Structure 1
Amino acid sequence: MKRKRKNYSANEKVAIIKRHLVDKVSVSDLCDEYLLNPTVFYRWQKEFFENGAAAFEKSDARRQRAERKRFEELEAKLQVKNEVLSELMEEHVRLKKTLGVP
C-alpha cells in the first residue's frame, strides 16, 4: 500500500535540520522518525545553507528590493496604459477625420 506524502512547512524543515546539527541526531534516525528519504533531508540542508544568508540581510535591504520590484511593476503597468491611451487617441482622430468633425 502506498503511503501518503507529508508536506513539511519551512519551520518544520528547519527544526528537523536543527535537530541534526545542534542536537546531533543522526540523519538515519531523523529519516526514520519523519519517514523521509535521506536525499530529501540532504536537499533541505543544502537549500538551508544556500539561502541562510537571507536571514542576516538587513530589513532595509529587503524593503528596498521590494520597493524596487513594486516600482518596476508600476512602471510596466503605466507603459501598458500609455500604449492603450495612444491607440485610443489614434482611433479617435481617425474617426473624427472619417466623420468630418473638426
Structure 2
Amino acid sequence: MMKKPETSKDAADKLVKNIRRKTRQTYSAEEKIRIVLAGLRGEESISVLCRREGIAESLYYSWSKEFLEAGKRRLSGDTARQATSLEVKDLRSEALALKECVADLTLENRLLKKSMTGAGEAQE
C-alpha cells in the first residue's frame, strides 16, 4: 500500500483543523445556563444572542433542550444523578468499614457463645 504524497493544501487543511480543535471554546455548566436563560427571557432574538456569544444556533437549541429535559425530570421526582468519583470513593471506604465492624461483631458473638456453653460445644 503506497501512501499518496501529501500536498501543501492537505497539509494546510490539517494544520487549520488542528488549530481549530485546540482553540475550540468549552463552556461551563453555569455559562450554558446563563445563555439558555437569556434566550428563554426573549429580550433579544436567539440569532442575536448566539452571534454575541459566538455559538451556533443549533448548539443553543441543544443546550436549551437538555436544560428543559433536566428540569422536567427534576420536577417529576427523578432525582437520580451520577455520583462523582470522590463520592464513590467515600462510599466504598464506608462500606469497607461497616463490613469490618460486622466481622468484628460476628467474631465477638461467636466467642461469647463459646464461653457461655463451656468447652466450646455448639448450642444454637
TM-score, with length taken from structure 1 = 0.50
TM-score, with length taken from structure 2 = 0.42
Q: Which has the higher relative contact order, 1 or 2, with Cα contacts under 8 A spaced 6 or more apart? A: 1
* Greater share of helix: 1
